Amino acid sequence: MGFSVPSVDSSQPALSSTSKALPSPTALTTSRSQPLRRCFARACSSTSAPVSPVSAGGTREPLDPVRFLGNRSSGKQGYALARTAVQRGASVTLVAANVALPDPAGVKVVRVGTAEELRTAVREAAADADAVVMAAAVADFRPRHVAVQKIKKDAGDPAPVELVRNPDVLAEISGDRPRAGQVIVGFAAETHDALDHGREKLAAKGCDLMVVNEVGATQGFESADNAAVVLGADGSQTRIPYGPKESLADVVWDLVAARLPGLAR
């Protein structure tokens, strides 16, 4: 999954015209809500407890000691989420899968490689968290067999790579919440029919919010900007226009804060 749209034209819609037409947003949130910003930490159970694990980047599933199945996620959106949460006084564990960015100040960073490693780290950090945000692109499958030595081309034609399914971390945590009242957020990366797929994912995974964004060969995973529509399990729909990933992150935290028990409106 990834987090960008191709143009820097800020007048373009949140999702491109390849998507089905968007209904008018029912809850368009501005990106810098100062009251929520100030009381975000107070809304959580304890200002000293970890408030949220945020996963970022993309997992890599090894084929042999030098090769892997991976994706193009840069981790920038997850890092923006971590930075903006810390600015609000939250305590964040950033579970970073193969991200080449420097550690953000004030954030505990746990570096992972595979989906299984990410699952372990996120579940551990989620145990006493108020919110869980899954911005990472997690590989759905991994090779069944990992060669101990580098696969050599002179050893004959390669056998087909057999894949096995990875756990769905977001669905697992949503279906068996470590703490009551936790707000769980997923990110849906879609190349087409984004809102339809996003709605299906929201229902299938059972999270509270699904941030739907379009990705593709020309839609940069490395971009500093992004656009999205956030779908809520309560039927809400929040359009976030194209802009810096920090702005998108701020809207996501506003939506999370509004759903935390201590801040319910």
Which helix (H) or strand (E) segment holds residue 237: the answer is: strand 237-244
C-alpha dihedral over 143, 175, 237, 50, to 10 degrees?
-90
CB 61 within 8 A of CB 54: no
CB 126 within 8 A of CB 75: no
Choose which of 110, 169, 249, 256 interacts with ligand CTP (CB under 6 A): 169
Give the residue with the Cβ less far from ligand CTP, 57 or 104.
57
71 a catalytic residue: yes
Count of CA atoms in the C-beta half-sphere (13 A) of 62: 14
Give the residue with the Cβ less far from ligand CTP, 64 or 140.
140
Distance CA 118, CA 89 (A): 25
> Closest distance between ligand CTP and the C-beta of residue 36, in Å?
22
Stretch of 21-29, 151-159, 184-192, 248-256 contacting ligand CTP, by CB under 6 A = 184-192
Stretch of 42-50, 88-96, 180-188, 236-244 contacting ligand CTP, by CB under 6 A = 180-188
Does residue 132 interact with ligand CTP by CB under 6 A? no
CB 255 within 8 A of CB 209: yes
Stretch of 8-16, 30-38, 182-190, 248-256 contacting ligand CTP, by CB under 6 A = 182-190
Which residues contribute to the site for ligand CTP (CB under 6 A)? 1, 115, 134, 136-138, 140, 166, 168-170, 186-189, 201
